[in-house]
Structure 1
Amino acid sequence: MSLASLLPAETHPQEGYDGFIGWVLSLMETLGEVGVGIAVLVETFVPPIPSEAVLPAAGFLAYEGRMNAWWAIVAATLGAVIGAWVWWYLGRLLGRDRTRALVEAIPLMEGEDFDKAEAFFAKWGRVAVLLGRCVPLVRSFISIPAGIERMPFWSFTLYTAIGSGVWNAIWVGLGYAFGPAIRPVLEQWSGILSNAVLVVIALLLVWFVVVRLLRRRRDRRAATEPRG
């Protein structure tokens, strides 16, 4: 019989979460700080897993004395950095020319879109990596342009670690500070927050498609009109 089975049901952080998220939280409870690092590493490749739900659960376990809050933050940051390295190397392997060709092959995308993104990253790359670690979905993929633009590895690692460390410390700290009181808040708002971000991204995508289609229609009409 495990220690977890002897505890009251309300002390299990995975209760109330089904499917993959529940499995991740159970893994974290079983393996302690190592499980926290693995959970964040998994989140890097499966963005729908909200760290806003996973990390406070680690703080809650620390509150109950079942793990060390500081080591949980370190493990979470290490997991985030390792995941970011994988995406960085993927971007580096693709390189500029292959990525530009892939962009041009995507419907409604043009090489000019890649050129603008490249110019933006050249100017704001370090800031983008730093702040991108605090944005759901973005934090999983911001490492790819860093690799494409060959952002220095140790500089990339430093900014990734700082951004991830601050983000992890905030959420683990909230779980530790509020203890059991934070659970109903997490169940109510963590999903809402993640869904809100996905809705905003979807709306931006729709806006992009509409604007691009209208522009192409206008360009075709201008090309067929006789010149005076």
Structure 2
Amino acid sequence: MTELAHPLAGPPEPTGIAGWATGLMETLGAPGAGLAVALENLFPPLPSEVILPLAGFAASQGDIHLGAAIFWTTLGSTVGAVALYYVGALLGRDRTRAIAARLPLVKVADVDRTEAWFARHGTKAVFFGRMIPIFRSLISVPAGIERMPIATFLGLTALGSLIWNTVFVLAGYLLGENWWRVEAYVGILQNVVIAAVVLGVGYFVVSRVLRARSRGRRGS
């Protein structure tokens, strides 16, 4: 197999997560890319935005087959998502409600509303969630809590992951030695998602604090 970690035109030799993923692909081939993506689902700090383009680059060098890279990374995404689905299933609705009851500023009614929302939009959330940074992994947990039919979950997860993985693997394949540029562009999208989450959480906390103060003034 051709050495993946040869000097690139522009960026330094792959190190850190990229170097680790490179080692897996050198040792296991395309299944190594699938294993890396499966672990990325379980440990979100491992970025698929690095692993997938790197798999595409390996395919462009002839180290692995392009179709195999897409197949194994999609399988890895699905396996990792199923593991998180069962984490949610083990947690269950009753435990989730019990945990919510102990959290400050969170009410069991919030869990009930979330459950009702997921009942209406769960299929879209699972499918599109597979293509949104951060939520790609997290969306599997409420699907498990709500016991979405496993066949439905598998189908939506596999399809959403296939689209996401194909885009990034092909990007790495077409960019070749410049595969690393993909992460910079995706980082912008990820920052937008993080900002939206921070704003949403901030709005939730502020509205709850103001509501609690209002009730306190009326009570006094």
Normalised to the residue count of structure 2, the TM-score between the two structures is 0.89
Per the alignment, residue 3 of structure 2 pairs with 4
Which residues of structure 2 form unaligned runs of 5+? none
Per the alignment, residue 190 of structure 2 pairs with 194
Per the alignment, residue 201 of structure 2 pairs with 205
**CA distance, structure 2, for counterparts of residue 108 and residue 90 of structure 1:** 25
**CA distance, structure 1, for counterparts of residue 129 and residue 165 of structure 2:** 13
* CA separation of 1:123 and 1:30: change in aligned 2, threshold 3 A: same
Aligned positions of 1:88-107 closer than 5 A = 88-107=85-104
Instruction: Please state if 1:145 is matched with 2:145.
Output: no
**CA distance, structure 2, for counterparts of residue 72 and residue 223 of structure 1:** 63
Question: 1:155-175 deviations in whole A, cap 9, x for unaligned?
Answer: 111111011111111111111
- Residue identity over aligned pairs, in percent, reads 45
Per the alignment, residue 132 of structure 1 pairs with 129
Secondary structure of 2:207's partner?
helix
Instruction: Please state if 1:33 is matched with 2:46.
Output: no
Aligned residues: 220
Equivalent of 1:157 in 151, 154, 160: 154
Asked whether the 8 Å contact 2:60–2:174 carries over to 1, the reply is yes
Give 1 or 2 for the bigger CA radius of gyration: 1
Normalised to the residue count of structure 1, the TM-score between the two structures is 0.87
**CA distance, structure 2, for counterparts of residue 21 and residue 106 of structure 1:** 38
* CA separation of 1:14 and 1:161: change in aligned 2, threshold 3 A: farther
Asked whether the 8 Å contact 1:52–1:171 carries over to 2, the reply is yes
Instruction: Please state if 1:24 is matched with 2:21.
Output: yes
What is the letter of the counterpart of residue 160 of structure 1? T
For residue 177 of structure 1, report the CA deviation from its aligned partner. Answer: 2.0
**CA distance, structure 2, for counterparts of residue 127 and residue 55 of structure 1:** 24
For residue 65 of structure 1, report the CA deviation from its aligned partner. Answer: 0.6
Question: 1:49-80 deviations in whole A, cap 9, x for unaligned?
Answer: 22122101111110111101111111111111
**CA distance, structure 2, for counterparts of residue 91 and residue 156 of structure 1:** 13
What is the letter of the counterpart of residue 219 of structure 2? A
Question: 1:11-44 deviations in whole A, cap 9, x for unaligned?
Answer: 7x9835x534542343234322111111111111
Which residues of structure 1 form unaligned runs of 5+? none
Asked whether the 8 Å contact 2:89–2:144 carries over to 1, the reply is yes
Deviates more, 1:210-219 or 1:193-202: 193-202
Secondary structure of 2:132's partner?
coil
Deviates more, 1:26-35 or 1:124-133: 26-35
**CA distance, structure 2, for counterparts of residue 128 and residue 4 of structure 1:** 40
Question: 1:135-162 deviations in whole A, cap 9, x for unaligned?
Answer: 1111111111111111111111111101
Secondary structure of 1:10's partner?
coil
Asked whether the 8 Å contact 1:29–1:61 carries over to 2, the reply is no
Deviates more, 1:115-124 or 1:84-93: 84-93
Asked whether the 8 Å contact 2:81–2:137 carries over to 1, the reply is yes
Equivalent of 1:84 in 81, 85, 88: 81
* CA separation of 1:28 and 1:103: change in aligned 2, threshold 3 A: farther
For residue 3 of structure 1, report the CA deviation from its aligned partner. Answer: 4.9
